Structure 1
């Protein structure tokens, strides 16, 4: 039996042609049916090949090409066999070359397909209309634009410039090589366009994320009276989701329902994804629940929809349901959405489990997946784990580096963040505007004023990046943190763009730390001009007065809050215990274990008072009676979460908490002492930054 490559001593073709060919009666005249339809394994083809060698039928080009097609295209892992047969053919024609080029292209050897095409031209074998689609697909997969352009020129020269099938693959090739505008010129020049041509152009725009062009092209398609199909609608629904074009998305939804297409799984999945990305998450879930069958793409679309809508608990609930009920396994998209949800909730244990699952399934640590892991660990305060993931990634882009720099900066490791920034520059990776926000934040946390100024001016001078309002805000924070309040104030007044309330609020927070009443009052006035001041602004101003002993002014500001019915947003803290995220509100009594929690709070307050803690009544609820103010501050949401963590975790375990508001002064002071008294590291992520409490001190150096 023949197997693999033919030995070099065996010649399939004799030196001289035979006068007659001996026929075997059992061998059918139509060899195509036998070779292409009945040969299911390499063993089958070996037996047929042996007959063809013995009977010399292999000399018949049609028979040999059937053999080639079976080994090059139909049977798996038999490309080498096909190449050995092809190599023994004395003068293979264009059909034989086409089969080999097509086989190499479809069996993930596009480079060899291009080389075979060159050999075809060098052998003076003229390509035909069946040659060009395969070789263009090979160029597309390689993103070989130069070679693709040469093939384009060649088929125009050969007179195939108006062949619709060739033009469709040409559109795909240009789009895949990043030249979507050239693809559009090819499309516009086509004499006739069927739905395949339109879909090729839609696919090109989708590949280039030109969502607006997808929408406009679909409108033109409808105006042209061309009937669209499911493939068209999937591309357009994807664009609707990215553009938040709910009106067009709903029009397609009505078309799907009117034409009874609800059983088309990819189409319904795209519809679910569109509704979720347009903010209609409940509609997306209703459609998802109605689907008779769901693949991993459908589950991922719905989980991603919840995550992007900041309904992260529902995202994790659905993920757990997927694990329990579905027979499909999560893919990269699923895991990225799960990690994003864990990052928002601070669900450290669930995210760690997700990371273990990724390792167990040997999922490739792509840029998207690796960056999601870095961000997750960063938002749970586990910086060393972020760095470990970063180090293990084979491929990194500017977003990966930015995520790590931001991770270090927000966790109070400014100098380390800048080390990675300069390491990135050393690898010739260009920072973007978000990278500079992270680097400037690092300067702020590290107290590096001169470094911050240098980076700020370098943005425009060296990289052509015009500073946005966020960059100006970072500079105000850098100057304010170091007590340069007057310089920060002048910096804002000299800004070439209108400062927003966030910039003035940043300066107001600096005035609280450095007890600058005059500029603090000016900052507050600017905030109230730009937008209605919220409770945090009043509390910051009140605290400025309080820390310098102007108690009457502090009380006056709080009285203004009451008169204007401005309520302090309720504090909310999250803590994950054994994979379950528990939520606490200020003065919460809705938790199942609230009696045990409040008992622990009482004991905890006694112990930290003995260690030097003094309650700050200024942080009590505004409407709290004077004799209840101390109890009010002891029942803030993060204190309840910390108490629950002390109850439910072993001694010495790190307690991780996520909070919706800025940590108040009282809770910050209390948590420092709790970390020392109970010998616990406590990581609190508030609205602005991370606080790593350990041994009675905080990573923010009491500036937040």
Structure 2
């Protein structure tokens, strides 16, 4: 409330100024023209001089102006409140509201305690104010105590109090208690329904959000934009495109498309429902786009595995005056991680430092994930150590990253540190630990961890954990034991389990179990081209060339098509994409010349092309040429001519690295004195001085 001075502006008040008349009801005073403490001070001084401050209603109006109207901290309001002889519930309400609105909710709780100790009885407005303060600090224990006070004071059926209780319990994760309060209400308005729906939204109870909204429609309860925003969020999480489109049509028919928050929610919903083009069309039609809208669209591309589009949109956002926030950065880093776009991700990290953005658990974990997925382990560990707080996901991301990059023993060291800090691992953490045992050749330790899951942590192993154990045994050459392990599994093995065993059979040249593995794969699902290639390679490795050719012919006759290999390399912030025998790149002639020169040089060092890796329909005379132009070879050659000597070359590939490309990359790393990091479909390969981190097992 504010004091209105129609004749003399507040800024002209002097020590001799007098105000002769106030409205009969001081609550109608208008102090909004008091923009600063200085102006309020002038009025305050005048009220003291004229002794009008002794009027409780006038004093209360002044207090409300200092505590709520002015944006300054509460110091001045406290000085006024402390001079009140007998503050009543209204005075306390004003102070509690002021503390809560100015991010000092703990002080509001302290004041409420003082109010009770002074036997000042709360009124119907006190409880909503103090319950809101509890909600701000997630003070569930204090909120429950105040709820008891509410019931004793006879305000349990007050609608405003009940709405605030629903908000409190929903915000503190006690959604069941919130629903109990909701169900006990005799009358509910749209605020009540929105409070309940918002509580379900915060708790991730998406089905309940949709169910409650459908109840609103059936009961002919009016809803508003706040309701629809929550419902659209739920539709996105549930991929409920039908309801999402209904909301879109309703918004269009009722002229709500001008609300940017609602349109942003529509963008987010469509993107999460795999309707990215529709989301982008809505996004492009928005006349004004804030950071939330940009982040929603970038996140949509990222979650739809359209990383290049996400980065392109982010670069477009940078040209505007919209500052990215944490959500933007997490989505961009996720796309950089998928694409292996180290340069762009490093720029994002620099931006985070420059803007002094808080390294939250989400942002820090995204940075760690980005670095380890780009093979930059030391940078990832450095970020991890600087994070002020870490959760189980943070530890798991680092453990998995170290394991997939061939740093198995180091991953297990971090797992032990995690346990020392009393962070309980989850099932995904154990996948990383088992992967670490695999890459470090620790098959006895792997057995121990598999047993420890259920024995020590009450985590039931999933089929992925059993698959990791099969991989561990296979790497150790224990093919028969791995085979028996599959036969004795408590759950039915899937195609992935048998595919893992088939890969082990290729390394250790076990024809018999390899044949059975492929038979089981075909029985369970349509076999991939890679499955046939693995068995063909097993035959070739023991000199059974006719069988090797027969498998490839079988693959062709059954219509199994080999997935097109694709390799990506980032140079100067641009992602370059290569396919086998690709001539679409604008510098393809230069790249092919560089590839031929690269092959010539490593041949002098002893490289012999493996023609068995050529495609089945390649002419005999062209098989060596075909093998020479696999996508990763083109990407590596491009990296050699476009980066400075000694620079690490980083490649991302969508498939498993073939034997010939693996041999070529080892030779290139030695002949050209380059470290080369290839992130393939199933693991990382770090090549240096003619050797690979996988120790030729992948």
TM-score by length of 1: 0.96
Match in the other structure for 2:47: 52
From 264, 276, 279, give the equivalent of 2:274: 279
> 1:173 maps to what in 2?
168
Q: Is 1:189 aligned to 2:173, yes or no?
A: no
CA distance in 2, matches of 1:120, 1:511: 76
Hey, what's the Cα distance between the residues in 2 that align with 1:569 and 1:618?
A: 17
SS in 1 for 2:31: helix
Partner residue in 1 for 2:13: none
Shift of 1:26: 4.6
Counterpart position of 1:319: 314
Find the aligned partners of 2:315 and 2:145 in 1 and give their Cα distance: 52
**Using the alignment, how far apart are the partners of 1:435 and 1:27 within structure 2?**
73
Q: Contact 1:42–1:78 (CA<8 Å) still a contact in 2?
A: no
Answering whether residue 257 of structure 2 is matched by residue 254 of structure 1, we say no
- In structure 1, the residue matched to 2:36 is 41
* Counterpart Cα distance in 2 of 1:370 and 1:404: 11
Shift of 1:34: 5.4
SS at match of 2:493: coil
- Structure 2 match to 1:214: 209
- Equivalent residue, structure 2, for 1:524: 518
**Structure 1 partner of 2:91:** 96
| Distance in 1, Cα, partners of 2:141 & 2:584 | 67
Q: For residue 521 of structure 1, report the CA deviation from its aligned partner.
A: 0.9
Candidates 617, 623, 634, aligned match of 2:628: 634
Deviations 1:152-180 (A, max 9, x none): 11112111111111111100111111100
**Structure 2 match to 1:233:** 228
Q: Give secondary structure in 2 for the equivalent of 1:38.
A: coil
Pick from 485, 490, 496 the counterpart of residue 490 of structure 2. Answer: 496
Q: C-alpha displacement at 1:328, in angstroms?
A: 1.4
Q: Within 5 A, what are the aligned runs for 1:520-669? A: 520-669=514-663
Q: CA deviation at 1:29?
A: 3.9
Q: Secondary structure at the match of 2:575?
A: strand
Question: Residues of 2 paired with 1:496 and 1:139: CA distance?
Answer: 49
Partner Cα distance (1:29, 1:289) in 2: 53
Aligned length: 682
The reply on whether 1:467 has 2:451 as its aligned counterpart is no
SS at 1:329's partner residue? coil
Deviation at 1:109, TM superposition (A): 1.1
Equivalences for residues 403-422 of structure 1 within 5 A: 403-422=397-416
> Post-superposition shift, 1:32?
5.1
What corresponds to 1:139 in structure 2? 134
CA distance in 2 between partners of 1:647 and 1:78 (Å):
61
- 1:56 Cα deviation from its structure 2 partner: 1.8
The aligned residue for residue 391 of structure 1 is 385
- Quote the Cα distance in structure 2 between the aligned partners of 1:28 and 1:163: 34
In structure 2, C-alpha distance between the alignment counterparts of 1:561 and 1:227, rounded to whole Å: 61
For the 8 Å contact 1:140–1:176, the answer to whether it is kept is yes
1:25 offset after TM fit, Å?
3.7
1:23-80 CA-to-partner distances (Å, cap 9, x unmatched) read 9345644655656222110100111111122222211111111111111111122401
1:683 counterpart SS class: strand
> Is 1:302 aligned to residue 297 of structure 2?
yes
TM-score by length of 2: 0.96
Q: Does 1:242 pair with 2:237?
A: yes
Q: Distance in 2 between matches of 1:566 and 1:255?
A: 46
Partners of 1:659 and 1:351 in 2: CA distance: 18
Find out whether 1:85 has 2:80 as its counterpart.
yes
Aligned-partner Cα distance in 2 for 1:86–1:278: 54
The SS at the match of 1:272 is helix
Q: Does 1:693 align with 2:694?
A: no
Structure 2 counterpart SS, 1:36: coil
Match of 1:17 in 2: none
Q: Hey, what's the Cα distance between the residues in 2 that align with 1:25 and 1:452?
A: 85
CA distance 1:347–1:78, change in 2 (3 Å): closer
Structure 1 residues 140 and 71: alpha-carbon distance in aligned structure 2, compared to 1, 3 A threshold: same
> In structure 2, what is the Cα distance between the partners aligned to 1:327 and 1:253?
29
Tell whether 2:499 aligns with 1:505. yes
| RMSD (CA atoms) | 1.2
Contact 2:613/2:660, CA 8 A, preserved across alignment: yes
Contact 1:571 1:661 in 2 (8 A): yes
